[in-house]
């Protein structure tokens, strides 16, 4: 790209711009490179660059990026779009240009940078929304919800707004129709859209979505991304709890069936075990244990979860009430998981080759005693 000297650029610009615009160029610290870039464009485009409310220093950064082919001419004008009215995005110009160096597509970055003027967020937050796949930057300095996510939000009953052009906005009644017309779609709680976009890929999404609609009811528009995440945690825990109960119930039924085959004295001697295993089964039926997914998974790996929880109950002398069964479940899960982790570590470490025992030492070898179980 040919870069004119300052005098040459100002001479050419003076033939296109008004006196007030020229005064701004001369007095406010525009670099020679910025002036040369402006002089490359036709009158209306050069004027829009001068009329931007961005500081000369910011314009110098943008034109520098343009001369280095970091951004295109279209990107340059996208970045300054509407900046004659507002410059809320100006503090993020360095973040905008650095994001392109870090792999963000230049056109996407420029449109997102312009959107920051009206989205009430930083550039980093805005580009994060775009990277999430839930949003895309429009040609009108805004971030629109993507079609797939918007359809899911509509199905949930969440209110959406549409916008045709820059400021012709309306309440959406048919999101597919709105998007077919090229209109942008807005949702008041952006993090909700991000969460919905992530969760719609889950295998249980449709069932979970139905449960959310049932729980929220008429208050669906009060749903936030954080609330949706909490509801999903509860949903997963509830389903894991049901699976755990079904497993424990089968083990309890088998235990009782075998116990009925025992003589009376054995049954009487096992009275505490019978009562306590019944309590454990009842607890799993009536309550949702406050366990993590990993803890639930650990309990499900046991050959007999009921036996292990009962053993843990007996080993912990501080457990007494029905509520304490939740503690026994948690401790059992952690003990099982510890055993699983230890086995995995042992498999990962190759066994050291054993050195042959010298003959004089073999005579002194003592067989280990059998360990009590």
Look at residue 369 in the predicted model and tell me its pLDDT.
35
Read off φ and ψ for residue 196, nearest 5 degrees: -65, -40
Look at residue 348 in the predicted model and tell me its pLDDT.
82
Structure tokens at 101: 């160096």
Look at residue 101 in the predicted model and tell me its pLDDT.
96
Report angle CA 185, 191, 197 to the nearest 5 degrees: 70
**Low-confidence winner among 75-89, 137-151, 206-220, 255-269 (lowest mean pLDDT):** 75-89
Could you report the per-residue pLDDT of 138-169, keeping only the tens digit for each?
999 999 999 999 999 999 999 999 999 888 99
Q: Is the pLDDT of residue 113 over 60?
A: yes
* Domain locations in the chain as residue ranges: 226-345
Give the span between the Cα atoms of 51 and 140, in whole angstroms.
18
Q: Is the pLDDT of residue 351 over 70?
A: no
Structure tokens at 124: 């980093």
Could you report the per-residue pLDDT of 306-329, keeping only the tens digit for each?
999 999 999 998 998 999 999 999
Structure tokens at 368: 């280990």
Look at residue 370 in the predicted model and tell me its pLDDT.
35
Look at residue 324 in the predicted model and tell me its pLDDT.
95
Q: Are strands 135-137 and 143-145 parallel, antiparallel or unpaired?
A: antiparallel
Map tokens 């528009």 to a residue.
221
For residues 89-108, give the mean pLDDT. Answer: 97
Percent of the chain surpassing pLDDT 70: 93
Whether the predicted model's global pTM rises above the 0.95 cut? no
Q: How confident is the model at residue 85 (pLDDT cuts 50, 70, 90)?
A: confident
Look at residue 347 in the predicted model and tell me its pLDDT.
84
For residues 62-83, give the mean pLDDT. Answer: 94
Q: Are strands 184-186 and 168-171 parallel, antiparallel or unpaired?
A: unpaired
Give the span between the Cα atoms of 107 and 132, in whole angstroms.
17
CB 153 within 8 A of CB 193: yes
Could you report the per-residue pLDDT of 6-60, keeping only the tens digit for each?
999 999 999 999 999 999 999 999 999 999 999 999 999 999 999 999 999 999 9
């Amino acid at each position: 790209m040919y870069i004119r000297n300052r005098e040459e650029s100002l001479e050419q610009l003076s033939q296109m711009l008004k006196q007030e615009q020229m005064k701004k160029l001369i007095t406010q610290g525009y670099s020679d490179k910025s002036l040369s870039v402006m002089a490359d464009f036709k009158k209306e485009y050069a004027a829009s660059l001068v009329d931007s409310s961005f500081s000369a220093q910011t314009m110098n950064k943008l034109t520098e990026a343009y001369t280095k082919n970091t951004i295109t001419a279209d990107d340059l004008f996208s970045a300054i779009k509407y900046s004659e009215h507002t410059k809320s995005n100006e503090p993020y110009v360095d973040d905008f240009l650095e994001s392109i160096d870090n792999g963000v597509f230049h056109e996407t970055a420029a449109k997102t940078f312009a959107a920051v003027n009206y989205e009430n967020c930083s550039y980093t937050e805005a580009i994060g929304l775009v990277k999430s796949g839930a949003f895309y930057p429009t040609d009108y300095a805004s971030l629109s919800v993507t079609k797939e996510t918007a359809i899911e939000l509509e199905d949930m009953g969440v209110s959406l707004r549409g916008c045709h052009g820059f400021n012709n906005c309306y309440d959406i009644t048919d999101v597919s129709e709105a998007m077919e017309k090229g209109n942008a779609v807005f949702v008041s709680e952006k993090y909700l859209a991000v969460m919905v976009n992530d969760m719609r890929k889950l295998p249980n999404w449709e069932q979970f979505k139905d449960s959310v609609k049932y729980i929220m009811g008429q208050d669906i528009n009060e749903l936030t991304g954080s609330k949706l995440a909490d509801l999903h945690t509860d949903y997963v825990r509830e389903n894991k709890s049901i699976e755990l109960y079904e497993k424990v119930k089968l083990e309890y039924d088998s235990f009782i069936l075998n116990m009925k085959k025992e003589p009376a004295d054995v049954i009487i001697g096992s009275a505490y075990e019978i009562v306590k295993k019944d309590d454990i089964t009842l607890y799993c039926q009536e309550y949702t244990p406050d366990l993590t997914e990993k803890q639930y998974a650990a309990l499900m790996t046991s050959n007999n979860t009921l036996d292990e929880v009962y053993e843990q109950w007996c080993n912990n002398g501080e457990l007494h009430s029905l509520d304490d069964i939740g503690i026994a479940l948690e401790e059992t899960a952690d003990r099982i998981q510890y055993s699983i982790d230890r086995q995995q570590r042992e498999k990962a470490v190759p066994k050291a080759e054993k050195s042959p025992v010298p003959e004089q030492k073999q005579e002194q070898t003592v067989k280990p005693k059998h360990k009590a179980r």
